[in-house]
Amino acid sequence: MKETGIVRKLDELGRITLPIELRRTLHLAERDSIEISTKDDKIILQKYEPVDIFTGEREDLIEYHGKKVSKKSIIEMAGLAGLEIRQ
């Protein structure tokens, strides 16, 4: 993990502002989604990238009923359902 030396205070609603230097470095644009996670006693912020709900893969995603599923998962599920897929 890289230390930046940047310190910010939370406002009364618990918000922080990410400095422009960090947004530029991480290629974050206005209205980009940020994923928030924790590890031990640390808060981790990263640019959100959709993933397959079953495998976590990020390639060849298709949206179905608001969820992302990879083509690979769809083909595997079709096989489990006894359907033959022609490619």
49, amino acid identity = E
Read off the pTM. Answer: 0.58
What values do phi and psi take at 15, rounded to 5? -95, 155
The strand pairing partners of 64, in sequence order, are 67
Instruction: Render pLDDT for 54-80 as a digit per residue (tens, 0 to 9).
Output: 999 999 999 999 999 999 999 999 999
Confidence check: pLDDT of 2 > 80: no
Between the CA of residue 63 and those of 14, 34, 83, what are the distances in Å? 33, 19, 21
The strand pairing partners of 73, in sequence order, are none
DSSP state of 67: E
Secondary element (H or E) of residue 80: helix 71-80
37, amino acid identity = S
User: What is the reported pLDDT for 15?
Assistant: 94
